[in-house]
Amino acid sequence: MNSLENVLMVSPLHLLAYNGHRNTLEFLLKHKLCGGDVDVKDINGRTPLDLACFQGETSCVKCLMAYGAQFDSHDSLNERTPIHAAVYNNNEECLKAISNAEYDKLRTESSTDYDYEDIEDHFGAKVNNDLNRINACGADDDDDDNDIVIDSRVKRVVKPAAEYGEVNGKISNVRDKHMRTPLMMAVEQGHLNTITFLINYLGADVLAVDEKKRSALHRAAALGYEECCVAILKADGSAVWQRDLNGLLPIHYAVLAGHANLISMLFDYHNLNGIYQQQQQQQQQLQQEQKDDVNKFDRLIELNGFSLLHFASFHGHSTCAETICEMSQQYPFLAEMLDERVDPTVAIIYNKFSPLHCACLNSHDICLNYFLDYFADRKPFLIELDDNNLNRPLHICAINNETDCAQILLDAGCEMSCANKNGHTPFMLAAAYNSFSIMELLLTVSEERRAKNGALSTLDLNQVDAKGNSALHLALLNQHENCALFILDRIDASNGQLIN
């Protein structure tokens, strides 16, 4: 029989398990016609149990487990196990079969000889319920936790839940090459029933993280699976506070992917309202005592100081931005980076590249317009926000030639001649980055403002930066011929010579 193996190293056991031929599979195993190795591997390191679990062939899984197949055997590709294979295709019955087989193995190896009946469908939580029910009916509270409890009503001997938990943990928390558990894989596939089974019956660790510190909840939030999020949070609500290697919480993943429906639900589990009030009281007390301690309240900010509103704006998820802004009415800290009245000790914890800068960077004019409308009373402050390099939103538009956002800012009355840390105005940056449309827009608005206000143009083409370079110099230095010619055509000779 061994000679039947082909160049792919697929044994007869693999073929039988994959196609669900349980009787023939048992015949070969019983008579050891395939070398006696139930865990023989193919070219990818997969065992017959791997293939049976992947295909959902429960009868073959039971047969292979009865002959000693290992559920934690890792393949050579991603080091996944038969458990991962069963979870991937939502084959819950295969998980039950493996769990039952491991229970049987445990009781066989037990030093105490007790008679057991089949306990199929009686997993972790069910055992706990049985124990509670039995003890409530008169079991001795002083009994040691390792005692055997006999339920005379069902004529079944129940082993302590702790032993079942040990088996469950081995099954549900095996890891692959990237440290992913079966629960994480179930979440990625959106298999809610398997997720529930892994958590409630096999005791899967919902706080387990992969090599990038991402949990099952991170995955559920990123994919927008609300019911999966609820199932995980019911098991352990502290999962909302887990951060990945980049300092991102699950709620950040929800915002990044634009799942506005998850924001308020995840936010509720943070229970931030009470914490916020407590921290505000502590901060006021510190101020009264004239201490310089910075407010340590966790405002759901990642490592670089970006908030939920930053993420929503950067990715153009206007619905998420609206949800967060509306929630800021009850929880002001959600939008405090857009409030000029915020305490300076708090303002410094945010990245100065504001949500408005983020919107302008990627031409998300809907988000930008929403911010200016929703916070209309703060508009003069918002349009002149600057980052660490003193770049205002209009500077960002000039660099990226984002005319739609620039038009919104100019209509709101933003200043055009403002200079950043290097002395560059938006017009200079437009010339330096070949943002021809921005140059045209700025000159047009400048002329309109001059005509309307009866004053000189607000745009000085001869203005120089910190190194003495004008917009014309910058255009020529970067070989933007069209921008240079555009400037030359519009220089007013009456204003004096060009900068040399």
For tokens 């008579």, name the residue. 31
Task: Note whether 218 and 140 are within 8 A (CB).
Answer: no
How far apart (Å, rounded) are the C-alpha atoms in residues 119 and 104?
9
Does the pLDDT at position 84 exceed 80?
A: yes
Torsion 251-253-256-260 (CA) sign: negative
Q: Count of CB atoms within 10 A of residue 488's CB?
A: 12
Whole-number mean pLDDT of the chain?
Answer: 82
Task: Note whether 384 and 418 are within 8 A (CB).
Answer: yes
Torsion 17-65-39-79 (CA) sign: positive
Does the pLDDT at position 214 exceed 60?
A: yes
| pLDDT for 146 | 41
Amino acid found at 200 = N
Radius of gyration of the chain (CA): 33
Is residue 457 classed as helix, strand or coil in its secondary structure? coil
Does the pLDDT at position 456 exceed 60?
A: no
Confidence of residue 285 (pLDDT cuts 50, 70, 90): low
- Residue 388 burial class via C-beta count within 10 angstroms: exposed 0-12, middle 13-18, buried 19 and up: exposed
Q: Kindly state the average pLDDT of the residues 167-196.
A: 92
Lowest pLDDT segment from 260-269, 292-301, 426-435, 468-477: 292-301
| pLDDT for 33 | 82
Does the pLDDT at position 225 exceed 70?
A: yes
Of 106 and 443, the structure prediction assigns the larger pLDDT to 443
| pLDDT for 104 | 80
How many CA atoms are closer than 13 Å to the CA of 393, on its beta-carbon side? 37
Q: Kindly state the average pLDDT of the residues 15-33.
A: 92
How many CA atoms are closer than 13 Å to the CA of 377, on its beta-carbon side? 3
Q: CA dist 175 to 170, 388, 464, Å?
A: 10, 43, 60
Confidence of residue 9 (pLDDT cuts 50, 70, 90): confident
Amino acid found at 351 = N
pLDDT per residue as tens digits for the range 331-351: 888 999 999 888 888 888 899
Alpha helices in 79-181 (DSSP H): 82-88, 92-109, 124-136, 161-172
**92 CB-near residues (< 8 Å, 6+ apart):** 86, 193, 194, 197
| pLDDT for 268 | 86
Token pair belonging to 270:
């943070």
Q: Kindly state the average pLDDT of the residues 88-94.
A: 95
Alpha helices in 328-377 (DSSP H): 344-347, 355-361, 365-374
pLDDT per residue as tens digits for the range 41-54: 999 999 999 999 99
Let me know the angle formed at the C-alpha of 7 by 20 and 41, rounded to the nearest 5 degrees.
55
| pLDDT for 342 | 84
Amino acid found at 346 = V
pLDDT per residue as tens digits for the range 358-393: 999 999 999 999 999 999 999 999 999 999 999 999
Lowest pLDDT segment from 206-215, 312-321, 339-348: 339-348
How many CA atoms are closer than 13 Å to the CA of 320, on its beta-carbon side? 26
**Phi, then psi, of 99 in degrees rounded to 5:** -60, -45
The packing angle between helices 58-66 and 48-55, to 10°, is 150
**Phi, then psi, of 150 in degrees rounded to 5:** -110, 125
**236 CB-near residues (< 8 Å, 6+ apart):** 206, 207
| pLDDT for 175 | 94
Lowest pLDDT segment from 139-153, 254-268, 450-464, 465-479: 139-153
Beta bridge partners of 149: 158
| pLDDT for 120 | 40
Cα–Cα nearest to 405, from 353, 371, 363 = 363
| pLDDT for 162 | 46
Q: Kindly state the average pLDDT of the residues 312-319.
A: 96
Q: Kindly state the average pLDDT of the residues 104-114.
A: 61
Lowest pLDDT segment from 80-89, 145-154, 240-249, 271-280: 145-154
| pLDDT for 164 | 54
What is the widest separation between alpha-carbon atoms in the chain? 107
| pLDDT for 298 | 67
| Direct distance between the N- and C-terminal alpha carbons of the chain, in angstroms, rounded to an integer | 90
pLDDT per residue as tens digits for the range 147-178: 333 333 333 333 344 455 566 678 889 999 99
The pTM for the full model equals: 0.80
| pLDDT for 303 | 87
Of 387 and 269, the structure prediction assigns the larger pLDDT to 387
pLDDT per residue as tens digits for the range 427-447: 999 999 999 999 999 999 998
